[in-house]
């Protein structure tokens, strides 16, 4: 693979969480694709499984994650390069507030950090619902806070009406040169449906609901000035031409030759759908042929499989259906006992415990696969953190400084005292504050989500699947 110059990039950032980044990002993507004719490649800053699936509804292209903690600077650049062939522009939805990152000391792992790495222009969204002239002061603060971040336009969300909009425009004209790209009126109908972990996964949306997503994107796009947006893009084209030679600095990267194929069964339905597209791509690069199965509907996994992957999702929401599929639960337990390699993250870990309870006020406890000698309690308290761990397990050897994230509302309880753990946590809570990654039979099940841009773990797991296939 040959690496050249980066594509044109727009970062859609917010002053805080909850200002409408996803809705506005979809609107900008819609404008660029359907009204300007651009081939748009979407991205999402930070660890997020759901928002990227909404990007795909609008653009038709698979969105990818850009996370400095898990991927590093080079991983971010590589991901953008890999997705940029034939692309006119990259639109990158930010995370949290523009400057919110790993700590208060610097902007590492923030939206601002990614914007600087990619030399991207930033469209900043401000919720103007409870201010008028003060909105200009807020914008000025964000613009001046770090002048290396190129804030090229402002979008005002939650604006009450024309009088409200006029006050804000007058303040901007007096104090700021950065243009207002759009003014979005207050409208409850423009909100996307949410659940306790964020938006409703698109796998659960029927055709009508997906159509509504497009309708919302189209309606919000009507509030955005094409002329101003196009001028920002044209300015970036000039900037790119000044900054980079015509051919760019090229670096040749040789991908490893593909080994013999092995089949990996990946759980995919309304209960399990939290997967980075890049992770599945890495498994394929390492020789895996991916096939899918539904723990809700299927009685068993596909034939000739040498490993099982169960990602995150909402097993608590689908607990009654997962429990009712006794055939699948027994089948997976038998495969695990027969030493087929399993890899499970978060929701997958919960599914492999003995039971899930506590999601509703109902006292019901729903039986799960049961190979992890513990139960899952939906405690209603969020665990959210970047994670860092050392792998201390004979099956995988020692892997230092494995990075990921955790995001869930559950706790593993009543764990057997003799449970073995593969991860020694340096950062994050894991299962018990010190350990994560239950290691049983040939299975590894953890709360920690990994990004496979670090190939060390997935390579070892695929190796174990290949050993199983030979046995």
Q: pLDDT tens, 405-439?
A: 999 999 999 999 999 999 999 999 999 999 999 99
pLDDT greater than 70 at residue 240: no
Respond yes or no: is residue 346 known to be catalytic: yes
d(CA 131, CA 413): 46
Catalytic residue among 291, 346, 443, 465, which? 346
Instruction: Enter the pTM of the model.
Output: 0.90
* pLDDT digits 0-9 by tens, 317-327: 999 999 999 99
* Weakest mean pLDDT among 79-88, 234-243, 260-269: 234-243
352 found inside a domain: yes
* Weakest mean pLDDT among 34-48, 88-102, 110-124, 189-203: 189-203
If asked whether residues 417 and 446 sit together in one domain, one would say yes
If asked whether residues 85 and 190 sit together in one domain, one would say yes
105 found inside a domain: yes
Local confidence band at 238 (pLDDT 50, 70, 90 cut-offs): low
CATH number of 431's domain: 3.40.50.880
d(CA 54, CA 45): 14
If asked whether residues 276 and 392 sit together in one domain, one would say yes
CA 81 remoteness from chain centre: 18
C-alpha atoms less than 13 angstroms from C-alpha of 292 in its C-beta half-sphere? 11
d(CA 378, CA 456): 32
pLDDT greater than 70 at residue 271: yes
Count the domains in the chain. 2
358 found inside a domain: yes
Burial class (CB in 10 A: 0-12, 13-18, 19+), 368: buried
What's the confidence (pLDDT) of residue 239? 62
80 found inside a domain: yes
CATH number of 51's domain: 3.40.50.300
d(CA 337, CA 193): 40
Domain that holds residue 437: 262-470
CA dihedral 181, 183, 187, 193 (to 10 degrees): 20
Report how far apart, in Å, the C-alpha atoms of 181 and of each of 124, 184, 427 are. Answer: 9, 10, 40
């Amino acid at each position: 693979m040959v690496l050249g110059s980066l594509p044109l990039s727009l970062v859609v950032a917010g002053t805080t969480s909850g200002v409408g980044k996803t809705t506005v990002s979809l609107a900008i993507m819609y404008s660029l694709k359907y009204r300007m004719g651009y081939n748009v490649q979407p991205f999402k800053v930070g660890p997020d499984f759901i928002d990227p699936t909404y990007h795909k509804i609008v653009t038709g292209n698979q969105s990818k994650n850009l996370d400095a903690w898990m991927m590093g600077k080079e991983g971010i650049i590589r991901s953008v390069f890999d997705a940029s062939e034939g692309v006119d522009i990259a639109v990158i939805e930010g995370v949290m507030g523009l400057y919110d990152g790993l700590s208060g000391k610097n902007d590492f792992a923030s939206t601002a950090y990614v914007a600087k790495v990619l030399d991207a222009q930033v469209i900043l969204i401000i919720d103007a619902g409870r201010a008028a002239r003060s909105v200009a002061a807020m914008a000025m603060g964000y613009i001046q806070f770090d002048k290396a971040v190129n804030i090229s336009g402002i979008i005002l969300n939650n604006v009450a009406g024309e009088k409200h909009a006029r006050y804000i425009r007058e303040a901007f004209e007096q104090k700021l040169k950065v243009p207002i790209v759009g003014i979005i009126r207050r409208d409850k109908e423009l909100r996307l449906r949410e659940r306790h972990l964020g938006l409703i996964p698109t796998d659960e949306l029927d055709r009508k609901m997906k159509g509504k997503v497009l309708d919302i994107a189209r309606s919000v796009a009507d509030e955005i000035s094409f002329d101003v947006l196009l001028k920002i893009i044209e300015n970036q084209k000039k900037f790119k031409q000044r900054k980079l030679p015509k051919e760019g600095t090229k670096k040749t990267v040789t991908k490893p030759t593909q080994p013999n194929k092995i089949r990996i069964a990946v759980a995919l339905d309304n209960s399990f759908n939290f997967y980075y597209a890049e992770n599945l791509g890495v498994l394929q690069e390492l020789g895996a042929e991916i096939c899918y199965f539904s723990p809700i509907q299927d009685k068993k996994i596909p034939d000739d499989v040498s490993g099982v992957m169960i990602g995150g999702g909402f097993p608590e929401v689908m607990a009654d259906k997962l429990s009712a599929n006794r055939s699948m639960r027994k089948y997976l337990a038998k495969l695990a006992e027969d030493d087929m390699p399993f890899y499970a993250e978060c929701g997958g870990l919960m599914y492999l415990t003995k039971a899930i309870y506590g999601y509703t006020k109902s006292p019901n406890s729903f039986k799960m696969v049961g190979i992890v000698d513990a139960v899952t309690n939906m405690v209603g308290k969020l665990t959210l953190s970047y994670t860092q761990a050392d792998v201390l397990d004979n099956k995988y050897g020692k892997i230092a400084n494995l990075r990921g994230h955790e995001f869930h509302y559950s706790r593993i309880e009543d764990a057997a005292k003799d449970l073995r753990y593969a991860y020694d946590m340096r950062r994050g809570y894991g299962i018990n504050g010190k350990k994560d990654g239950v290691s049983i039979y040939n299975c590894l099940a953890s709360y920690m989500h990994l990004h496979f841009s670090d190939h060390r773990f997935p390579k070892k797991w695929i190796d174990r699947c290949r050993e199983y296939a030979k046995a």
